[in-house]
Amino acid sequence: MFILDKDNFEQEVLGADGFVLVDYWSDGCEPCKALMPDVEELAAEYEGKVKFCKLNTTNARRLAISQKVLGLPTITLYKGGQKVGEVTKEKASKAGIKEMLDANL
């Protein structure tokens, strides 16, 4: 998965043409760490269709808030730099993410 930070987010996510999925997580978020392997599996499954990225919000709090993300885990799907789908908290499961992807692809 591509590692985002506050310097490359604009270019890699908002400036990208196709589908970009962002896994918002942080060091203190245990549910995020538990979810990460599932997201990595999905990244392999959707390779070539969706660019999978992750952003550690610990060092990018303002950036996350600017994307209206104030809770973790949150998985957001962008297309052409626009948010087209989002799952958060208990809906941020492997099945929930897959459902969001399949509804948009």
Rg, C-alpha atoms of the chain:
12
Least distance between another protein and beta carbon 26 (Å): 6
Helix (H, G, I), strand (E, B), or coil: what is residue 64? helix
Q: Is 104 in the site for another protein (CB under 8 A)?
A: no
Site string for another protein, 12-41 (x = CB under 8 A): --------------x-xxxxxxxx-----x
Least distance between another protein and beta carbon 41 (Å): 8
List binders of another protein among 51-70 (CB under 8 A).
Answer: 57-58, 61, 64-65, 68-70
Residues annotated catalytic, as ranges: 29, 32
Give the tokens for residue 68. Answer: 């209206």
DSSP 6-47: TTTHIIIIIT-SSEEEEEEE-TT-HHHHHHHHHHHHHHHHTT
For another protein, the binding residues (CB under 8 A) are 26, 28-35, 41, 57-58, 61, 64-65, 68-74, 88-90, 93-95, 98
